[in-house]
């Protein structure tokens, strides 16, 4: 998947990335440093993802955002200075993002993602889309499928967060521990010892596009059963995506009361469609979906960035295909939907 051939690390890189090389190995690090990544939407979650992959040592990160820094960003977006309110988010984030790791090529793009042609995306190995309406996500996902680009999308709404992955057909290797009998090293020790040995095994995962998840018939027998196990975060995210599509923005603290009313009506409508009781998303949760809470960005952005690292290094089985974080019980769970 990663297009450039892995090249040797320099001594400086080996020193800087010492700890992570001890964890994921030299090969992974070499693949990582060939990966070019587009991050769309540089709010709290986008900033966390950028931070983690820049620290990890990818080849290049393009931060794309056509919007300006808002007051609300200040409680989670640490790459833009507090004085940058009103200035373009990605441009305002460049200096700090680059300072995280001078070896990574950090670029800024201030255009609207919806103005980008299909051609634009072919320069990337991975696309991560945040703060986009569903319509745009579907378009990006389709472009990525055509161009064999790994696609992620995700959001943090207040205390809640999720992400989705479409890696198409993804091949990876993973280390597994197997028991093996070893011959005694010294003749002193005559009995056969059983030792654990690590062996590398190949695997592959097949992903589905986002529209398969959105098109799920929740009244079908298969999904009726699944539904009962779904965390409330799942439904909340769906309601918020509808909200965004409907009014072309996220809920805002400045209009908290009317936004909560709108969220409630969207909930009633959407959950009815899915044949789900409205109890699944009690009113009280709607107090917790404003702006982005920094620790939640850190949690979701941490898991998402690790998935990107897994993907480009082709090491270990990726999460297939949705991750949700529930802030009430601190549960972070993966759901396999639409397959």
Partner 1 sequence: MGEMATAAGVLGADLHNKVNNSKILVVGAGGIGCEILKNLVLSGFKDIYIIDLDTIDVSNLNRQFLFHKQHVGKSKAMVAKESALKFNPNVSITAYHDSIISTEYGVNFFKQFNVVLNALDNRVARNHVNRLCLASGIPLVESGTAGYEGQVELIVKGKTKCYECSPKAPQKSFPGCTIRNTPSEPIHCIVWSKYLFNQLFGEEDGDEEVSPDTADPEAAANAGESAMATDANEKGNVERTSTRSWAQSNDYDPEKVFTKLFHDDIKYLLSMADLWKERRKPSPLIWSSIPEIANNGQSTGQGLKDQKVWSLKECVEIFSESCRNLSAQFKKLPEGDHMVWDKDDVDSMNFVASCANIRAHIFNIQRKSRFEIKSMAGNIIPAIATTNAIVAGLVVMFALKVLQEELEKCQCVYVRSKPNHKLQQIVPEKYLSPPNPKCAVCSPKPEVTVRLDVNKQTVKDFVEDVLKKSLNMVAPDVMLMPSGSIIISSDEEEMDISRLALTLADCNIIDGSMLEVDDFLQNYNLTVKIKHREPGRDDPLFDVIADPDLLKPTEEAESDKNGSKNGEGDAKGYEDDDDDLIMTVDDEQLVIPGSSSTKRKVEEEASVPVKKRRTGNSNEMLATPVEDDDDIAIIE
Taking CB under 8 A as the criterion, which residues in 17-46 touch partner 1? 17-20, 22-23, 26, 44
Size of the site for partner 1 (CB under 8 A): 78
Q: For the window 205-244, what string marks contact with partner 1 as x by the rule CB under 8 A?
A: ----------------------------------------
75 is a site residue for partner 1 (CB under 8 A): yes
49, 304 in Cβ contact below 8 A?
Answer: yes
Please state, in angstroms and rounded to a whole number, the distance separating the CA atoms of residues 47 and 50: 5
Quick one: which of 174, 194, 169 has its CA closest to 184? 194
Neighbours of 9 (CB within 10 A): 17
Among 58, 274, 281, 293, the residue binding partner 1 under the rule CB under 8 A is: 293
Least Å distance, CB 199 to partner 1, is 14
Residue in 119, 181, 186, 191 binding partner 1, rule: CB under 8 A: 186
Least Å distance, CB 248 to partner 1, is: 19
Return the H-helix or E-strand segment holding 205. strand 193-206
> Does 182 help bind partner 1 (rule: CB under 8 A)?
no
Cα 257 to its chain centre, rounded Å, is 30
Task: Give 14 or 272: the residue with its C-beta nearer to partner 1.
Answer: 14
* Site for partner 1 contains 183 (CB under 8 A): no
Q: Tell me the angle at which helices 44-56 and 89-99 cross, rounded to the nearest 10 degrees.
A: 30
Among 42, 132, 237, 309, binds partner 1 (CB under 8 A): 309
Q: Which of 32, 296, 312, 337 binds partner 1 (CB under 8 A)?
A: 296
Q: How far is it, in rounded angstroms, from Cα 324 to Cα 304? A: 11
Q: How far apart are CA 165 and CA 187, in angstroms?
A: 54
Would you tell me how many other CB atoms lie within 10 Å of the CB of residue 321? 25
Cβ 142 to partner 1 shortest distance, Å? 27
């Amino acid at each position: 998947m990663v297009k450039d051939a892995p090249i040797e690390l320099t001594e400086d890189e080996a020193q800087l990335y010492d700890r992570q090389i001890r964890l994921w190995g030299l090969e992974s690090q070499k693949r990582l440093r060939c990966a070019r990544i587009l991050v769309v939407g540089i709010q709290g979650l986008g900033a966390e993802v950028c931070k983690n992959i820049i620290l990890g040592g990818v080849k290049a990160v393009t931060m794309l955002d056509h919007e300006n820094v808002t007051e609300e960003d200040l409680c989670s977006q640490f790459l833009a200075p507090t004085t940058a309110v009103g200035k373009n988010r990605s441009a305002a984030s460049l200096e700090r993002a680059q300072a995280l790791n001078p070896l990574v090529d950090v670029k800024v793009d201030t255009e609207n993602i919806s103005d980008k042609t299909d051609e634009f995306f072919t320069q990337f190995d991975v696309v991560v889309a945040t703060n986009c309406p569903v319509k745009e996500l579907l378009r990006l996902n389709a472009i990525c499928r055509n161009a064999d680009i790994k696609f992620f999308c995700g959001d943090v709404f207040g205390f809640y967060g999720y992400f989705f992955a479409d890696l198409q057909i993804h091949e990876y290797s993973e280390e597994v521990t197997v028991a093996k009998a070893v011959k005694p090293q010294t003749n002193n020790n005559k009995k056969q010892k059983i030792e654990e040995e690590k062996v590398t095994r190949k695997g592959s995962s097949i992903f589905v596009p986002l529209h398969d998840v959105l098109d799920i018939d929740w009244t079908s027998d298969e999904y009726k059963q699944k539904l009962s196990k779904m965390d409330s975060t799942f439904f909340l995210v769906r309601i918020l995506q509808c909200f965004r599509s409907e009014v072309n923005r996220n809920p805002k603290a400045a209009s908290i009361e009317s936004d909560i009313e709108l969220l409630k009506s969207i909930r009633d409508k959407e959950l009815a469609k899915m044949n789900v009781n409205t109890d699944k998303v009690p009113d009280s949760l709607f107090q917790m979906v404003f702006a982005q809470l920094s620790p939640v960005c850190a949690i979701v952005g941490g898991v998402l960035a690790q998935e990107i690292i897994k993907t480009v290094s082709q090491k270990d089985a990726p999460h297939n295909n949705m991750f949700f974080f529930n802030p009430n019980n601190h549960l972070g769970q993966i759901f396999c939907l639409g397959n």
